[in-house]
Amino acid sequence: MLMLESVINRYLALDPEMLDKLAEFDGKVIKLEINGINRVLYMLPNDRGIQLKTEHEGPVDTVLSGSPVSMLKMGLFSNTADLLLKGDIEITGDTRLGHRFKNVLSQMDIDWAEPLANIVGDSIAYQLQQSARRFGSWRKQTVQSVSTSVSEYLQEESRDVVSQTELEIFYDAVDQLRNDADRLQARIKSLYR
């Protein structure tokens, strides 16, 4: 587990702003339930990276559960509404925290110049970086164009997927319902005393 945690944190440290972004989650616990292989992993983000645990005593803020393939898809794609709607991934607890955490991780911006220069030298690293940047820009535009077209079709034409706005409204309603239920439970307990 320590080796996986070390690899993840070394990767996160390649983005100079990532550790500052993770600091906002300090004290939060995100539980991953990986179905099919029956593994549970606890992530405790902080300003030094992400601490991984296989056991955790205490409250959990957000639980993400799904198959290994679904978890991988969630990590690779920025729009995970389809996974949530199909039930491939379930989020319980503080759903907003889960979405904020996922969004922060999807904003990784790594400057590969220095690590590459240490391996192959400055001039080759610069050429590789420029080529990768051009390819990345083309890939990003292509993926975004295809993604937008498919997303618009699924949301507007076939109505198989809800829009981001509809999803946010649903999350707000779930949070409000949970708060209302907690208040009702507290009120009922106070009446029985």
pLDDT tens digits for 155-188? 777 777 777 788 889 889 999 999 999 999 999 9
Of the candidates 50, 42, 59, 44, the one whose C-alpha atom is nearest the C-alpha of residue 18 is 50
Helices (H), the chain: 2-13, 18-23, 68-76, 81-86, 95-106, 113-120, 122-152, 164-192
Q: Are residues 154 and 169 in the same domain?
A: no
Q: Are residues 2 and 78 in the same domain?
A: yes
* pLDDT over 90 percentage in the chain: 15
Can you give the pLDDT at residue 173? 92
Q: Are residues 181 and 149 in the same domain?
A: no
pLDDT tens by residue, 15-54 = 778 888 888 899 999 998 888 788 888 989 998 888 999 8
pTM of the model: 0.54
Q: Are residues 157 and 170 in the same domain?
A: no
Encoded tokens for 115: 């690590």
pLDDT tens by residue, 69-122 = 777 666 555 555 555 556 677 888 888 887 788 777 777 666 666 666 777 777
CATH number, domain of 80, equals 3.30.1050.10
Q: Are residues 8 and 75 in the same domain?
A: yes
Q: Are residues 25 and 58 in the same domain?
A: yes
Can you give the pLDDT at residue 177? 93
Q: Residue 157 CA to chain centroid, in angstroms?
A: 28
Can you give the pLDDT at residue 74? 65
Q: Are residues 45 and 127 in the same domain?
A: no
State the pairing for strand pair 89-93/62-66: antiparallel
**What is the domain count for the chain?**
3
Structural domain containing residue 150: 111-161
